[in-house]
Amino acid sequence: MNGNIISMDDRDSRFEAMAVKNGRIHSVGSNADMEPLVKEGWPVTDLEGRTVLPGFIDSHQHLGLTGQVLNGIDFLGVKTLETVFEKIREAGKTAEPGRWVLGYTLNDTSLKEKRLPLKEELDAVCADNPVMIVHSSWHLCALNSLALEILDPPADLAGMDLGPDNKPTGLVRDPGAPDFVFPAVSTLTPFEVKMASFRKACEAAMKQGITTLHCLEGGGFGPGDTRLVLENRDRFPLNLVLWNQVMDIEETLELGLPRIGGCICADGAIDAYTAALFEPYLDQPNNCGTLNFTQAQMDEFILAAHKAGLQVAIHCETDRAIEQVLSAMEKAIAAFPREDHRHRIEHCEIPNRGQLERMGRAGIMAGMQPAFIHYLVDMDDYELRFGADRLRWMHPYRTMLDCGVVMCGGSDCPVTPHGPLLGIQTAVLHPIAEERLTPLEAIRMFTIDAAYSAFDEANRGSIEPGKIADLVVLSKDPTKVAPEAIRDIKIVKTIVEGKPVDDARDGPAA
Task: Please give the full DSSP string across 53-120, using - where no structure is assigned.
Answer: EEPEEEEEE-HHHHHHHHTSEE-TT---HHHHHHHHHHHHHHSPTT--EEEEEE-GGGSTT-SPPPHH
With the C-alpha atoms ordered 497, 499, 505, 507, is the resulting torsion angle positive or negative? positive
CA atoms of 83 and 294, how far apart (whole Å): 41
Helices (H), 286-438: 295-307, 319-335, 353-362, 371-375, 379-391, 397-402, 420-428
Q: Where are the beta strands (DSSP E) in 224-295?
A: 239-244, 259-265
pLDDT tens sequence across 99-142 = 899 999 899 988 999 999 999 999 999 999 999 999 988 889 99
Contact between 322 and 355 (Cβ < 8 Å): yes
For helices 353-362 and 319-335, give the axis angle rounded to 10 degrees: 30
* 461 has pLDDT over 70: yes
Give the distance from CA 105 to its chain's centroid: 13
pLDDT tier at 407 (50, 70, 90 boundaries)? Answer: very high
CB atoms within 10 A of CB 347: 30
Contact between 247 and 264 (Cβ < 8 Å): yes
**CA–CA–CA angle 300, 217, 320 (5° rounding):** 45
CA atoms of 397 and 31, how far apart (whole Å): 37
**CA distances to 54, 88, 116, 234, 335 from 10, in Å:** 14, 51, 48, 32, 33
For helices 319-335 and 295-307, give the axis angle rounded to 10 degrees: 40
CA atoms of 364 and 20, how far apart (whole Å): 35
Of 68-72, 234-238, 505-509, the range with the lowest mean pLDDT is 505-509
Of 153-162, 395-404, 417-426, 496-505, the range with the lowest mean pLDDT is 496-505
pLDDT tens sequence across 67-104 = 888 889 999 889 999 999 999 999 999 998 888 999 99
Percent of the chain with pLDDT over 90: 88
**CA distances to 7, 141, 147, 466 from 62, in Å:** 28, 17, 24, 30
Does residue 380 sit in helix, strand or coil?
helix
Global pTM value:
0.88
Give the distance from CA 339 to its chain's centroid: 26
CA atoms of 419 and 411, how far apart (whole Å): 7
Q: What value does the CA radius of gyration of the chain take, rounded to a whole number of Å?
A: 23
pLDDT given at position 68: 84
